[in-house]
Amino acid sequence: MKLDNPKLMTLAQAVAAREALRRAGRRVVLTNGVFDLLHTGHLYYLQQARALGDALFIALNADASVKQLKGPTRPVQSEIERAYALAALSCVDGIVIFSEKRLTNEILALQPDVYAKAGDYTLGKLDAGERGALQQVGARIEFMPFLPGFSTTNLIAKIKAATSASASAAGEI
């Protein structure tokens, strides 16, 4: 089944949308990530990021880059499924899937006014090339509040524990 997702754009389409927003005097916020299983921490973070500007664009890691970053068992959902879930959020205005390990090219192309990252990051933890690209385009870097205890890794562990407990109770283990 093909999922209709009008918020999913090529980089060229996102740049055109960004330019239209710039001409209208609107501020664009860019963030990026895997967003494998949407959880409370993601939702809180994305809403806070959107409040920093007039539009929120997400650079979403492609499946191959997720495997490089998170290991062979990730992502749990495909890039198309993850993009579809993100597009359902009213705080998200556009999504671009990127396949490189870093999003330097997307930063240079989109030229965001603000770049938002979760609060578990610091300026020192940002990739030097990405940080340089953000400085080059004049983007303000904002670290959003982090809600401790909410992570995809924790969520996967809870699901595995619940599955094991359920199987054990049913006598399957």
Residue pLDDT tens, the chain, 173 long: 688 999 999 999 999 999 999 999 999 999 999 998 888 888 999 999 999 999 999 999 999 999 988 889 889 899 999 999 999 999 999 999 999 889 999 999 999 999 999 877 888 989 999 999 999 999 999 998 776 666 666 666 666 677 766 556 666 65
Asked if 15 contacts 101 with a C-beta cutoff of 8 angstroms, the reply is: no
pTM: 0.86
* Nearby residues of 143 by Cβ (< 8 Å), 6 or more positions away: 116, 117, 118, 119, 121, 122
Asked if 82 contacts 8 with a C-beta cutoff of 8 angstroms, the reply is: no
8-147 homologous superfamily: HUPs (3.40.50.620)
